[in-house]
Each structure stands twice: as structure tokens, then as C-alpha cells.
Structure 1
Amino acid sequence: MEISDTVSNLYFVLEYTGVLLAATVGGTVAKRMNFDIVGFAFIAYISSLAGGLIRDAILNDGPAAALTNPGYLITATLGAAIAYTVTLRGKLWENFRFYADIITIGVWAVAGTLKGLVAELSWVPCLLLAVITATGGTMMRDIALRRVPSLFTAQKMTVFPAIISSVIMLVMNHFDLVREGMLAAAIAAPIFAIAVYYGGDRFSFLQTKHIERPLEQKIGDALGTHTDEAEPRDNGEDVTRALENSSDEELLRALRILLQNEVRERTESIT
């Protein structure tokens, strides 16, 4: 497959957008966990570049794009600098993380699919490259932070939108509408993710059930402290402060709620 200059330019715009947003999210996660400058830079870079590095390594088509094109490292550094200088907390952080994540899924799914098409691969490998590119950075970040990768617990918010985006791209390419397909696919993924987020519970096949939640999230629920399901450990400090400031009576009540919720969840998982 040969791509025109217009498609090539659009490709880089989309991929740089993903790199910038992912680096900012990763840097903010590191900042909230009080990492030093080395840890901060590592998390920001791995969040923004790991997916593309894994994809390019699989394709085995020379050095990875992130190593040959300085624009990727410059963009990732800019995103890390934004995270370092701008403090995002509370609702502002939750909204930014959510929308930044779902936007990157779409743009990177397009990038992965286009890479597969350029390598003249069939549809199935193109879908695989789309998923790897879209989720690789987040997965490697979670592994580095010793978390269960969200890839395994939030598939409907990550993998499914990437697949849908890739399918749209492949279908449009089949009709020689590459540029239009790139734009449509990049927009479709976040729309689907938002639809699942706000309306998925209405459909049984879209519901997420029986997922073991982190302990700090369970304790936070029992104490009435808000915890972010997508980034549960980022709120560990909030739960710790709530425990320190709670009276003995409040702790006993929270313990009762925690045990009740645990029994209920395990009972539901059996049935």
C-alpha cells in the first residue's frame, strides 16, 4: 500500500496527538505518586511510546519510528512538561484522564492499522496491531507500577473501541477512502467508549462483572471516599488520610460495610 503526502501528514498529526496526551496522563500519574524526576520521565515516556515501540518491533521493519524521528521524543517531552507544571486534581483530573485516554485509543488504533496496511498485512494482523498500539503504552505503564493492567479489566473501554476503529479504517481503505477512514475511525473509538461508559450497564453483554478490585478502592467505598476505578492507586493517599481521620465508631462501621460488600461480591461471583 502506498500512502499520499496528505495521508502521511494526517497520520503524524494523529499519532503525535496520542503521544502528547498519553505522556501528559502518564506524567500526571507519576506526579500524583510522588516519583522523582527519573521515575516521572520514565512513566511519561513509557506511557506515550511503548505501544508504538512494541508494534514496530513486531513488524521488524528497521528501527522503531520513535527512535528515528525526534518528533516523537520532543512531543512526549512536551506532554511530560505539561504534566510537571500543571496540577490536575479532583474532577478536572478525572475528566482529563478519561477523555485523553479514549482519544488516544482512536488515534493509535488508526496508526496501528495503517502500519499494517503499509506492510501489506491481512485484516487480522492489522486488527492486532491496532489493539497493541492503542493499549501497549497503558499496559506497560501498569506493569511498571505493579498494577493489574487495565487491558484485562476494562476491555470494553480499550480493546473494543480499538477494534471498531480498526475495522472502520480497513473498510474505508477497501474503498480507497484512506483519509476519510482515518478521520472516521479516530472519531468512532471515543464515541463508542463514551457510549459504553454511560450506557453499557443497560446491556448485559457490556456489563463488567466479578472483577477483583484493589483493596484501597474497597476501603474507600466503605468509608465513603471517592475512588477512581481506572486509577485506583492514585487515590491511596486519600484513603490513608480518611483512615487516619476516622473515629473508632466510623472505622467499625466501615469494616462492617467492607465485609458485607466482600461477601456480596463473592456470592455473586459464585452464582
Structure 2
Amino acid sequence: MEEHLALTIRLLDYGAVFVFAVSGGVAAARKGFDPVGFLVLSAVAAVGGGSLRDMLLGRTPVFWLTDPFVAGVIAAAAVLMFLLGDRIAARAGALRWADALGLATAAAVGTHVGATAGLPFVSVVALGVMTGSFGGLIRDVLCQETPFIFRGEIYATAAAAGSAVQAGLWATGAPVWLAAPLGAAITFLLRGVAIRRNLALPAYQRREGPPG
């Protein structure tokens, strides 16, 4: 059982790293960056959320410093996108869909880590959302783009819903191999529906005050 648990979380973690690294490559292709730019954007998108998670929990060194396979995954994604980025970046919604998959898988890993650390339910969900969204936030800031999480889109809300279901299942004794993939699937489904239907949270509307 422990082997199945470790394998489930590891696959989700590597999947999140790869997909977010691809999203960084898509963003770099759109900006016309050089190979170093591709590698940097892929790296920050891939490990930004997990690094924040580990630092908040006092887990040092952070996960990617002790797992050389992570660097290989990031480098492979960056090279792949440098070679094929123009074809992928040209597809409508490529960055959003890659980011959505990264959000779902990374949030599931963050939720699991928070749950196993014995955090309260709300903190577990918050950690899942941060793990899923922080890498993409850094990527977008470096590209001088408004991060998805700030655009009013169904983004953090989707991650919170998936994390809440996963944390709830964990609390009731559901196995990790069921709870984590289901949480990731819910996040991805909600985010996917929002992308397809262009759903968003209401944005603040500034009101002009009376002339002074």
C-alpha cells in the first residue's frame, strides 16, 4: 500500500513538473525568448509552487534540490518547446490548457502534502491552491502578463474545489490513489469548463466619484 501511495504522488508530482514546464515553454515561445529564457520560464513554472509549499512547511531543502530527475524533466520540456514551441504556441488556448493540467496535478500534490503534515482542513486546501497556482503566477509576472489567478477566471476556485474534495476524502479514510487523482480531475474539469465557456468571477468595477 505504501508503494502504491508513493507511486501515485510521485507520478502526479512529475506530471505537474512536466506540464508546468511545458506551459513555461509556451509562454517563452510567444515572447520569442532565447534558450536560457525557455529554461528559466520552464523552471519557475514547474517548481515555483512546490518550492513555496516546502518553504511554508519547513521542508528544506525543497523537493527539486534533492531529486535530480526533476531537473531532467524541466530541461527536456524546455528543449522540446524550443524546438516545437511555435507550432504549439500558435494553437488557441495552448497555454491555458497546459496551465490547467499543471494546476490540477500540482494542487493535488500540495493537498496531499498538507494533509499528511496534519494541517487543518482549510490550511490543506490553501496549500493545495498555492502549490497549483504559484508557479504559473511567477511565469506570467516574468512575461509581464496578468496572471490567470488575477484575471477573474475560474482558476483558484477550481483548485480549491478539487483540493477540498481530496482533503475531505482523505479525512474519511479514502486511499490516496483514489483521493489525489479525483481531486486533480475535479480541478481540471472545472477549469476546463471555465475555459471552454469563458466563465469568470465578477470583476470589480470602478465607479467615478463626484467631481471635486
Secondary structure of 2:91's counterpart equals helix
Instruction: Let me know the Cα RMSD of the aligned residues.
Output: 2.2
**TM-score in terms of structure 2 length:** 0.88
Secondary structure of 1:270's counterpart equals coil
Q: Is the 2:26–2:94 Cα contact (8 Å) retained in structure 1?
A: no
Does 1 or 2 have the higher relative contact order (CA < 8 Å, sep 6+)? 2
Q: Which runs of 5+ in 2 are unaligned?
A: none
Cα distance in structure 1, aligned partners of 2:123 and 2:160: 11
Q: Is the 1:200–1:207 Cα contact (8 Å) retained in structure 2?
A: no
Counterpart in 2 of 1:85?
A: 83
Aligned to 2:119, which of 118, 121, 136? 121
Aligned to 2:46, which of 38, 45, 48? 48
Superposed displacement of residue 109, structure 1: 0.9
Q: Is the 2:31–2:143 Cα contact (8 Å) retained in structure 1?
A: no
Pair 102,122 (structure 1): closer, same or farther in 2 beyond 3 Å? same
Counterpart in 1 of 2:162?
A: 165
Q: Which runs of 5+ in 1 are unaligned?
A: 211-267
Aligned to 2:173, which of 176, 179, 188? 176
Structure exhibiting the larger radius of gyration computed from Cα positions: 1
Cα distance in structure 1, aligned partners of 2:9 and 2:139: 24
Counterpart in 1 of 2:74?
A: 76
Superposed displacement of residue 145, structure 1: 2.3
Superposed displacement of residue 155, structure 1: 4.5
Pair 196,37 (structure 1): closer, same or farther in 2 beyond 3 Å? closer
**How many positions carry a matched residue from both structures?**
207
Cα distance in structure 1, aligned partners of 2:88 and 2:121: 41
Pair 154,72 (structure 1): closer, same or farther in 2 beyond 3 Å? farther
Aligned to 1:100, which of 98, 112, 115? 98
Counterpart in 2 of 1:270?
A: 207
Structure with greater proportional helix content:
1
**TM-score in terms of structure 1 length:** 0.70
Name the % identity: 22
